[in-house]
A = this chain, B = another copy of it.
Amino acid sequence: MPRPRFRRLTDEQQTRILDAALDEFAAHGYRGASLNRIIANTGVSKGSMYYYFDGKEDLYTHVIRDGLEQLLAEGGGVALPAPTDPDAFWASLESQYLHLMRRLAASPRLGAVLRDWLSGTGIPALSSAQHEAEQEAMPWLTQTLATGQAIGAVRTDLPPDLIIALAMGMGQAIDTWLITRPPDDEGLENAVRALMSTMRRALQP
């Protein structure tokens, strides 16, 4: 989504800009972030920044997409060998979720910015960023849901998007709850286990 010009910069310049942006967005969220500060930390001029990106939202979208890609790329996104019974399905989900949470815990800046993005569903100015980046995660969600339903692991008496919304809502609840705790790995594992069993109670047929 950045102008193609941006991709023509040297990698060093690109990462320099994206890094400054990630810093700022992670520290202050979308609305609190100052594009001027990002620009100052980058060293590039304002005119150049607006030459590369359409504006603040465009830059934000790019940071989010980049982060999601990076997060899902490493084995998180590709489906494991399709489970054929409910137990295996939920176990696989749990391990994937744990994997995801571990990666998020390992890169706090990315975690902060993604959480900010997730919570900002209602901000109208960001609807395009929303749409843009949702394409990154949605296919995985719907497909996982579909296989879950196909093998009888997930109930079919609710609209699919409602099921997804419920799952995401519970996940977010656990996530924000976890943030307030000391994030040792054992606690994380327990929380994820608790979440998945609770989710299974709610979402199985």
Report A26 CB to chain B, min CB distance, Å.
Answer: 12
The listed residue (B32, B115, B162) touching A177 by CB distance below 8 A is B162
Instruction: Given A166-B174, A174-B166, verify A123-B161 contact (CB < 8 Å).
Output: no
Q: Is A165 an interface residue (CB 8 A)?
A: yes
Report A22 CB to chain B, min CB distance, Å.
Answer: 17
Instruction: Given A158-B194, A202-B202, verify A176-B121 contact (CB < 8 Å).
Output: yes
State the copy count for this chain.
2
User: Which B residues touch A29, using CB under 8 A?
Assistant: 122-123
Number of A positions contacting B (CB below 8 A): 32
Task: Say whether chain A's binding surface is mostly helix, strand, loop, or mixed.
Answer: helix
Q: Is A84 an interface residue (CB 8 A)?
A: no
Q: Is A31 an interface residue (CB 8 A)?
A: yes
User: Which B residues touch A168, using CB under 8 A?
Assistant: 173
A32, A123, A166, A172, most chain B CB atoms within 10 A:
A166
- How far is B194's CA from A123's CA once the two chains are assembled, in angstroms? 27
User: Which B residues touch A194, using CB under 8 A?
Assistant: 158, 162
Q: Is A10 an interface residue (CB 8 A)?
A: no
User: Which B residues touch A161, using CB under 8 A?
Assistant: 177
